[in-house]
Amino acid sequence: MPIVTIKMVEGRTDDQKRALVEEVTQAVIKAVDAPAENVSVIIEEMSKNHFAKGGVRYSDQ
């Protein structure tokens, strides 16, 4: 049972997250020949003040 966790900064629409889940699921099905009903996708969203890149928080950009 493949489980994929995606961590990303908040701000995407429900439609974008739905498309992401669908496409990731299809990629897992293709790569490991798993049935769709066995593929789980977890989206973990972070606020912009909880993520930094290059020493700068996204909320400070």
State the CATH number of the domain containing residue 39.
3.30.429.10
* pLDDT at res. 19: 98
Q: What Rg do the C-alpha atoms of the chain give, in angstroms?
A: 14
Question: How many domains are there within the chain?
Answer: 1
Strands (E), the chain: 3-9, 40-46, 52-53, 56-57
From the list 1, 2, 10, 35, the catalytic residue is 2
35 has catalytic annotation:
no
Query: Which residues span the domain enclosing 29?
Result: 3-60
24-60 confidence digits (pLDDT tens): 999 999 999 999 999 999 999 999 999 999 999 999 9
Q: What is the rounded CA–CA span in Å between residue 30 and residue 50?
A: 34
pLDDT band at 17 (very low <50, low <70, confident <90, very high): very high
Is the whole-model pTM more than 0.95?
no
How many alpha carbons lie under 13 Å from residue 1 in its C-beta half-sphere?
4
Neighbour tally for 39: CB within 10 Å:
19
Instruction: Let me know: does 18 contact 41? Beta carbons within 8 Å.
Output: no
